[in-house]
């Protein structure tokens, strides 16, 4: 699965489970980190189910989650395995010349 599809599936699964993306980081075309918040443990379990359906196969530690009624902050980290070179972006120089 290409990185664009994977990121789209992750954010869609979070939204469909009643959660929201609070931040993200893209590390070239090698990895992505998505921070999210979701209302409670049942919504979190729904998110895990949706990720599984999308063949994203999350590894989790549910026993470390506290009270069932607390909002949950989480982070999904995805590493993209491929042979493509790192993305190179031109960054303009800052300052006066």
Q: What is the pLDDT along the chain (97 residues), one digit of tens a residue?
A: 788 888 998 999 999 999 999 999 998 888 899 999 998 888 888 888 888 887 766 666 554 555 566 788 888 888 888 887 877 777 788 876 5
The H-assigned helical ranges of the chain are: 3-16, 41-53
In a domain, 84, yes or no: no
The contacts of residue 28 (CB under 8 Å, 6+ apart) are 86, 87
For the chain, what is the domain count? 1
- Residue 60 lies inside a defined structural domain of this protein: yes
Contacts of residue 80, Cβ cutoff 8 Å, sequence gap at least 6? 3, 6, 29, 30, 31, 32
Q: Which domain holds residue 69?
A: 3-79
């Amino acid at each position: 699965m290409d990185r664009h599809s994977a990121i789209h599936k992750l954010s869609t699964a979070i939204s469909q489970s009643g959660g929201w993306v609070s931040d993200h980081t893209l590390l070239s075309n090698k990895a992505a980190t998505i921070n999210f918040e979701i209302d409670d443990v049942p919504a979190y379990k729904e998110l895990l189910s949706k990720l599984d359906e999308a063949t994203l196969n999350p590894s989790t530690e549910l026993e470390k989650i506290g009270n069932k009624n607390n909002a949950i902050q989480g982070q999904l980290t995805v590493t993209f395995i491929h042979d493509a070179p790192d993305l190179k972006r031109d960054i303009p120089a800052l300052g006066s010349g």
